[in-house]
Amino acid sequence: MPILRAAKSEDVPAILALIQGLAEYENEPGAVHATEELLAEQLFGEHPGAEVVIADVAGDAVGFALFFHNFSTWEGRRGLYLEDLFVKPGFRGRGVGALLMAHLAGLAVARGCARFEWSVLDWNTPAIGFYRSLG
């Protein structure tokens, strides 16, 4: 079972590799414009725009969840928005994605978020099935 941990600046190369893996899965390998420099600034700079949780197995980043806070004016509280969730193909079906989702749900509760949201591409039936399996 993987260990979940908050990403650190030294994880930037692994995060970029996971982002590239996600782009390949979504048949858009050329769509990634992120660089290690951009990710380092945007995730670990003076004003981070997002956070990353890494699923680590024996020192290998096998999955990640990238998320940020949004805000509900009606609720008067922030929410947690999952931008991307990705697990390397060899580790799918082992509970890594469910572990990441449960972790994020726990963070949302602990941080007093009004909601935990994400979207999924309509053609991505494996992901839709995964999210439905979570209830």
Active site (catalytic) residues = 131
CB 66 within 8 Å of CB 52: yes
User: Residue 28: is it exposed, middle or buried by C-beta count within 10 angstroms (0-12/13-18/19+)?
Assistant: exposed
Half-sphere exposure of 95 (CA within 13 A, CB side): 8
Residue 9, both tokens: 């600046």
Q: How far lies 85's CA from each of 24, 61, 98, in Å?
A: 14, 13, 10
Q: Say how far apart CA 85 and CA 61 lie, in whole Å.
A: 13
